[in-house]
Amino acid sequence: VLRPVVRLAEAPFRTRYFAPANLRAAGQDERYMGLVSRYIREGYTLRYSGGLVPDVVHALVKGHGVYVSPVTGTSKAKLRRLFELFPVALILECAGGKAVDPTDGRRILDVVLENTDERAGLVCGTAEEVDAVVKALVG
């Protein structure tokens, strides 16, 4: 283990890294478009590799960041709850962050799995930033 203690920053620290996955959804969801526009206006650094794991590891290594992968009617969810969402949510929560569903703001680990192929969106990272994303997307 190279880093025995991995923690995400706590408030009042503000992240400057964002990873906007499923960017096609911004064309269909004005709330998501507004969120991405806000990140650009406020000078956040784009960090999007096209993969969940590299983007989450980046946030863990830096100690802050937010990953946003919303779902719309035509931009379906790709991340599988059992194999991607649950493990990533557990790791982020152990590091002091949050992982929630972007459609309703529910904690990922509170969702009961009904099918091994269930898919959903994801917002995860620094707790304060995840709360801000949920407020922007869910209200």
CATH number at residue 110: 3.40.190.80
pLDDT value of position 13: 80
Q: What is the mean pLDDT of the chain?
A: 93
- Evaluate whether 70 touches 124 at the Cβ level (below 8 Å): no
Would you say residue 109 lies in a domain? yes
Phi, psi of 57 (to 5 degrees): -60, -40
Provide the residue range defining the domain that includes 92.
Answer: 17-137
Would you say residue 11 lies in a domain? no
Q: Where are the beta strands (DSSP E) in 15-135?
A: 17-20, 45-46, 66-69, 79-80, 98-100, 119-120, 122-125
- Evaluate whether 26 touches 32 at the Cβ level (below 8 Å): yes
Would you say residue 73 lies in a domain? yes
Would you say residue 126 lies in a domain? yes
Distance of CA 125 to the CA centre of its chain: 6
Q: What total number of domains does the chain contain?
A: 1
Which stretches within the chain are classed as H helix?
Answer: 30-41, 52-62, 86-94, 127-137
Would you say residue 8 lies in a domain? no
pLDDT value of position 139: 86
18-48 pLDDT per residue, tens:
999 988 888 899 999 999 999 999 999 999 8
Would you say residue 12 lies in a domain? no
Would you say residue 6 lies in a domain? no
Residue 80 exposure: Cα atoms within 13 Å on the Cβ side: 5
